[in-house]
Amino acid sequence: MSYLVTIGLEVHCQVKTRTKMFCACETSFGGEPNTRTCPVCLGLPGALPVLNRHAIEKTLLAGLLLDCGSPEISQWDRKNYFYPDMPKNYQTTQMDSPLCLGGEVPVYDFNYPTDARKNIPRPGLKVRLNRIHLEEDVAKSTHLGTSSVIDYNRAGTPLMEIVTEPDIESSAEAFAFLRSLQMILQQGGISDADMEKGQLRCDVNISIRRRPEDPYGNRIELKNLNSISAVRRSIDYEIARQSDELAMGIDQIQSTRRWDDDRGESQLLRTKEDAHDYRYFPCPDLLPVHTAPLLEKVRPLLTERPHERAARYEQDFGVTTYDASVFAADLPLAHYFEAILGTGALNPKKTSNFLLNTLLGTLNERSIAIADSPLPAAKTAALLGLVEAGTLALSQAKEVLSILLDAPDRDPAAIAKELGFEPADAGELDALCDQVIAANPDKVAEIKAGNEKLLNWLTGQVMKASTSKPNPKQVTDLLKGKLG
């Protein structure tokens, strides 16, 4: 029997700041354990927190990027329960008055898993947000079988918790949501959101029911998933587990489970506490925050979002929907593309094709990211100018590009000349075409009968006979004209 699935996510994202949320300790990844600590983030008696203004501003900026509203006054609370990785045994967070309320995340169709893109049940989905609140991260626990060790370097790092409404209906939608959110936060400068570094983690809440008119089933929470692919696998497993148990008449109990990715199964941790079990109360050490002046300060920093960039590229530059989605997903590539177009009157669609099919392919062969390309946009534009002028064919431009990547200071036209890629003398080329046509009457007859593929063979004969290396397209066009 099939069931209706309802999913909500709680996404924890470290805010990109130089120092921690309530102290001046440096935020870093990969440092020696317990070397980025002080009395505040260690929870020592008498230590008092001081707000990180930059973290608050970045959280408000994230809210603007995601169309959230903000209360006039936001305040801080203490969340109390046993924290093995929080030395003061409570977390400074926000309960009743978070920095951001409402909002939504557009789920980009190109962010669905590859195997799910052909059949997206709800294209253009937008997942509503309930809130974004700011809090401090906990320390990192490492379990060694019979013992555990704790690194407090991460404790106190500014952490946004982004809570969705229960709008997600499948593991593929959750996957695409997380990739889309990650992309917006990275491009907006809010966070590096690197899951491998623990900068983005996710709790998944799942319930299932038989019919739309039935009440929601009891909610099962999966804690601290640290990769987007693990989120997808855990959801698929949990849907199957709950469905099998309901089919056997076993009711689900509200609970928290952990996901064991090696075993591919979830395991019960505890029956779920409700909010009152956390014993929230206002933090006596921190003043409320007036959001209006901070919002006015960060509003000018609001950047173009991926879907807005894609729409602009389609409308202004005439690129395909697919190409626009590639540029939307890769901000350094988009900047490179616009820098090329800014150098002169190049054709945007041809520029897009060259970047995506030729330049990126060549860089990938060398394991170089576009952001690390040694070739300035102006040099790529000069090379493209030779292609658009008919001096170089794309295959020839790729040869020039390979040399340019090793010697980016050189002139593309000079490299083309060294390789013999020059426009042939018009009279010489015209005569060569006549000679090849006269010498191959059988091939000419076949071409005129409809076998146009043989044009490439004739082009090759002209190229062999030429003293230079003319653009093959130029030769083919000349042959076409002569053959009618």
pLDDT for 393-416, tens place per residue? Answer: 888 899 999 999 999 999 999 998
Q: Are residue 124 and residue 260 in the same domain, yes or no?
A: yes
Q: Is the pLDDT of residue 329 over 80?
A: yes
Q: Which of 6-15, 304-313, 411-420, 429-438 has the lowest mean pLDDT?
A: 429-438
pLDDT band at 269 (very low <50, low <70, confident <90, very high): confident
DSSP code of residue 38: -
In this prediction the pTM is: 0.86
- C-alpha to C-alpha distances, 463 to 391, 420, 460, 468, 481, nearest whole angstrom: 14, 12, 5, 8, 17
Q: How many domains does the chain have?
A: 3
Given a contact cutoff of 8 angstroms between Cβ atoms, the answer to whether 144 and 180 are in contact is no
Q: Residue 41: how many CB atoms within 10 A of its CB?
A: 28
Encoding tokens for residue 390? 């008919």
The average confidence (pLDDT) of the chain is 90
Which of 265, 197, 203 has its CA nearest to residue 233? 265
User: pLDDT at residue 94 above 80?
Assistant: yes
Give 65's DSSP letter.
H
Give the SS3 label for residue 307.
helix
How confident is the model over 341-361, as a mean pLDDT? 94
Q: For the range 384-389, what are the long-range contacts, defined as Cβ-Cβ under 8 Å and sequence gap of 24 or more? A: 384/340, 384/346, 384/350, 384/351, 384/354, 385/344, 385/346, 386/412, 386/413, 386/416, 387/350, 387/354, 388/346, 388/347, 388/350
Structural domain includes residue 305: no
Shared domain for 378 and 468, answered yes or no, is no
User: Residues 6 or more apart from 463 whose CB is under 8 A from it?
Assistant: 469, 470, 472, 475
Q: In Å, what is the CA distance from 61 to each residue of 180, 283, 290?
A: 17, 24, 15
- The residue-averaged pLDDT of 144-172 equals 94
Residue 84 lies in a domain: yes
153 and 206 housed in the same domain: yes
Residue 84 is predicted with a pLDDT of 75
- pLDDT category of residue 332 using cuts at 50, 70 and 90: very high
pLDDT at 459 over 80: no
Which 3 state secondary structure label does DSSP give 265? strand
The residue with greater pLDDT, 268 or 29, is: 268
Check residue 28 and give its pLDDT: 81
CA dist 70 and 93 (Å) reads 16
Helix (H) or strand (E) holding 148: strand 148-151
- Of 95-109, 183-197, 200-214, 410-424, the range with the lowest mean pLDDT is 410-424
Q: How far is CA 190 from the centre of its chain?
A: 13
Tokens of 229: 């692919």
Same domain, 243 and 342: no
Q: What pLDDT does 144 receive? A: 87
From the list 392, 465, 384, the residue with the least C-alpha distance to 423 is: 392
Residue (of 11, 17, 106, 103) closest to 57 by Cα position: 17
Q: Which of 88-97, 205-214, 254-263, 391-400 has the lowest mean pLDDT?
A: 391-400
Domain assignment present for residue 41? The answer is yes
Asked if the structure places residue 437 within a domain, the reply is: yes
Measured between alpha carbons, how far apart are the two ends of the chain, in Å? 66
Q: Name the residue type at position 262.
A: D
**110 and 252 share a domain?**
yes
Q: Which of 62, 4, 29, 11 is nearest to 231 (CA)?
A: 11
- Which domain covers residue 98, as residue numbers? 4-299
Which range among 94-108, 130-144, 343-357, 375-389 has the greatest average pLDDT?
Answer: 94-108
Do 35 and 89 share a domain, yes or no?
A: yes
Same domain, yes or no, for 322 and 289? no
Q: pLDDT tens across 112-137, in order?
A: 999 999 999 999 999 999 999 999 99
pLDDT digits over 22-38, tens only? Answer: 999 999 888 899 999 99
* Domain membership flag for residue 285: yes
Out of 389, 418, 447, pick the residue that ends a domain.
Answer: 418
* Residue 470 and residue 479 in contact, taking contact as beta carbons nearer than 8 Å: no
- One domain for residues 126 and 169: yes
Between residues 463 and 44, which one has the greater pLDDT? 44
pLDDT at res. 196: 86
Q: In terms of Cα–Cα distance, which of 175, 180, 173 is closest to 122?
A: 173
Q: Hey, what amino acid is at 321?
A: T
Give, as one character, the DSSP assignment of residue 12: E
Mark which of 368, 383, 418 sits at the end of a domain.
Answer: 418
For residue 276, pLDDT beyond 80: no
DSSP string, 383-398: HHHHHHTTSS-HHHHH
The larger pLDDT score, comparing residue 427 to residue 201, is at: 201
Which region among 72-81, 301-310, 347-356, 433-442 has the lowest average model confidence (pLDDT)? Answer: 433-442
Count of H helices and E strands in the chain? Answer: 16, 16
In a shared domain, residues 218 and 128: yes
Are β-strands 4-14 and 200-209 bridged in parallel, bridged antiparallel, or unpaired? antiparallel
Q: Which pLDDT value is given to residue 456?
A: 77
pLDDT top residue among 231 and 417 = 231
Does 37 lie in the same domain as 17?
yes
Cα–Cα distances (Å) from 239 to 122, 218, 233, 405, in that order, read: 19, 13, 10, 50
- Residue 273: which pLDDT band, with cuts at 50, 70 and 90? low
The pLDDT value given to residue 33: 93
Domain-located, residue 307: no
Residue 368 has pLDDT above 70, yes or no: yes
Same domain (yes/no): 268, 332: no
Q: Which of 269, 299, 329 is the last residue of a domain?
A: 299
Q: Which of 54-63, 83-92, 292-301, 312-321 has the least mean pLDDT?
A: 83-92
Residue 242 domain-assigned (yes or no)? yes
Of 40, 57, 41, give the one whose Cα is nearest residue 294: 57
Question: Span 169-174, mean pLDDT?
Answer: 98
Domain match, 153 and 76 both = yes
Q: Which residues contact 426 (CB under 8 A, 6 or more apart)?
A: none
Element (H, E) at 266: strand 265-271
- Structural domain contains residue 306: no
Residues 6+ apart with CB under 8 A from 478: 429, 430, 433
